[in-house]
Amino acid sequence: MIHPTPRVRFAPSPTGYLHVGGLRTALYNYLFAKKNNGTFILRIEDTDRNRYVEGAVENLITTLKWIGLNYDEGPDNSGEYSPYYQSQRLNIYKEYANVLLTQKNAYRCFCTAERLTQLREAQQKEKHQAKYDKHCLNLTQEEIDNKLETDTPFVVRLNVPEKKTIKFDDVVRQHIEFSSDTVDDQILIKSDGYPTYHLANVVDDHLMKITHVIRGEEWLPSTPKHVLLYDFFGWERPVFAHLPLLLNPDKSKLSKRQGDVAVEDYRGKGYLKESLINFVALLGWNAGDDREFYYLNELEEHFSLERVNKSGAVFNVEKLNWLNFEHLRQKPVSEVLLMLKEELSKTKFGKNVYTDNYLIQVIDAMRERVSFVKEYAEKSPYFFEAPEEYDTDIIKKRWKDDSPALLKKLADNISEFQANASKDDFEHALHKTAEEAGVGAGKLIHPVRLAASGMGVGPGVYDLLVVLGKDEVVKRINTAIEKIKI
């Protein structure tokens, strides 16, 4: 049963860019909150100071806001449970660590790094699981007091009970059981006084009244430790939902080695936020039908944790590209126009001036042929400058001995047009020229495309010509006649 007012959180560590797996976790939390009139919280788990990256928090917030996942509470949008940086909550964790120490559910460990290394190597040699051996659990109070008086460094460890079955339910994986003998005595407070993820996230989830913990499958082995902490404190456990791994097409775990994994990488390459959200939503979830195209508000309406799959989700870039094409194709021309202007400003064409009407004609001509806004310039540069070179393969295949004479006659016929000629005008002129010369229209269609664009592919030839306009077409035909020699 879903809590009447669920509270969920996305709790990343600021260790760099936002991984697409992190985006999926944030998205599923966001969608669950929206679907169930709940609250979506952003909490920064920045207690691992060795991995902290300067500027990562700001980048994370910028990326979440760009993609449209607006949180209800967070670092720059504080609610009643602030602060939302764990590094600003250290006294809280120490207080709860002391509760566990008093209850004997945790203990101080004074072991040196050398002893821990020797222990681990011995266990590996014996092919035993690498676990702490509870050595310091057996220290007398006098020994503990002496070490504290001499400022011997220590950590605080969870005292995992032996020979106990730890049970919990998971929305995605149903009932799960672990033997406590496979669970290590996890460090809860490090020697620098900072908590580990395990203590901090349980304490914060309780204090912030988190009802559902929705996170990646990689946290499943840690969940028994968290369950023990909830039980030791006498707190109600949240509902757990562990999301499937993201996989490369070869079924290996998605990693930087096999390609881009940061949301910022995809944004930089020109992927639309709508297609990224759509794509990531389908990495492990479906609505029970074959539908694949969604807007964010539609995902909010359809999403449910019960439809999340157990098996790993394959990250298929071809599908992402298809979704980008579909989302770009569905965008209002006014929105594409703004994006195209911005994209052109980054290219060599940025110094040129194009009217909105001209750019809208370009968009209409190329809309079915581009998957990214940047492809308007990459795939059809001829709309922004006359070709300086001509495709040699097309010249060999399509430029014949009679092409110059035929094109010259076509240029003469086009010159007679009114200023704003239509597609029909260009089509009529081409067919008229072909008929007068006693040849098929193909003898002109291919050479005139080459003359106008320098290429052998593109939009319909009459779409190409009408966008360029009669004067530019005539000019380009004459230039091609001069430059192309066979």
Quick: pLDDT tens for 168-222.
Answer: 999 999 999 999 999 999 999 999 999 999 999 999 999 999 999 999 999 999 9
Query: Band of the pLDDT at 257, cuts 50, 70, 90?
Result: low
How far, in Å, CA of 157 to CA of 171, rounded? 29
Can you read off the two tokens belonging to residue 73?
Answer: 């509470």
Quick: pLDDT tens for 111-170.
Answer: 999 999 999 999 999 888 999 999 999 999 999 999 999 999 999 999 999 999 999 999
What pLDDT is recorded for position 208?
97
Residue 458 has pLDDT above 70, yes or no: yes
Other Cβ atoms within 10 Å of 241 Cβ, number: 21
What pLDDT is recorded for position 259?
58
How far, in Å, CA of 445 to CA of 434, rounded? 10
**Amino acid letter, residue 443:** K
* DSSP letter, residue 136: G
- Is-contact 7 210, C-beta < 8 A? yes
Mean pLDDT, rounded, for 30-35: 97
Which residue, 47, 72, 52, is CA-closest to 204? 47
Hey, what CATH topology would domain 89-243 get?
Rossmann fold (3.40.50)
Mean pLDDT, rounded, for 331-344: 97
- Is-contact 86 200, C-beta < 8 A? yes
What pLDDT is recorded for position 112?
94
- Is-contact 214 32, C-beta < 8 A? yes
What pLDDT is recorded for position 108?
97
Quick: pLDDT tens for 371-425.
Answer: 999 999 999 999 999 999 999 999 999 999 999 999 999 999 999 988 888 999 9
How far, in Å, CA of 280 to CA of 363, rounded? 27
Other Cβ atoms within 10 Å of 212 Cβ, number: 23
How far, in Å, CA of 325 to CA of 373, rounded? 10
For the chain, give the percent of residues with pLDDT over 70: 98
The architecture that CATH gives domain 7-86+246-317 is 3-Layer(aba) Sandwich (3.40)
Q: How many residues does the chain have?
A: 486
Other Cβ atoms within 10 Å of 145 Cβ, number: 11
Phi, psi of 109 (to 5 degrees): -120, 120
- Is-contact 441 434, C-beta < 8 A? yes
Which residue, 14, 121, 90, is CA-closest to 57? 14
Q: What is the mean pLDDT of the chain?
A: 94
Catalytic annotation on 256? yes
Query: Band of the pLDDT at 2, cuts 50, 70, 90?
Result: low
Tokens 């764990």 sit at which residue? 86
Common-topology check for domains 7-86+246-317 and 89-243: yes
Residue 17 has pLDDT above 90, yes or no: no
Domain boundary assignment for the chain: 7-86+246-317, 89-243, 331-385, 386-486
What pLDDT is recorded for position 202?
98
Quick: pLDDT tens for 45-96.
Answer: 998 877 877 888 999 999 999 999 999 999 987 778 999 999 999 999 999 9
Hey, what CATH topology would domain 331-385 get?
Helicase, Ruva Protein; domain 3 (1.10.8)
Hey, what CATH topology would domain 386-486 get?
Arc Repressor Mutant, subunit A (1.10.10)
Catalytic residue among 167, 253, 256, 432: 256
Helix (H) or strand (E) holding 142: helix 141-149
| Strand partners of residue 178 | 166
Residue 457 has pLDDT above 70, yes or no: yes
Residue 276 has pLDDT above 60, yes or no: yes
Mean pLDDT, rounded, for 14-24: 90
Query: Band of the pLDDT at 261, cuts 50, 70, 90?
Result: confident
How far, in Å, CA of 247 to CA of 244, rounded? 9
Helix (H) or strand (E) holding 356: helix 356-366
- Is-contact 423 466, C-beta < 8 A? yes
Which residue, 52, 90, 60, 311, is CA-closest to 192? 90
- Is-contact 75 84, C-beta < 8 A? yes
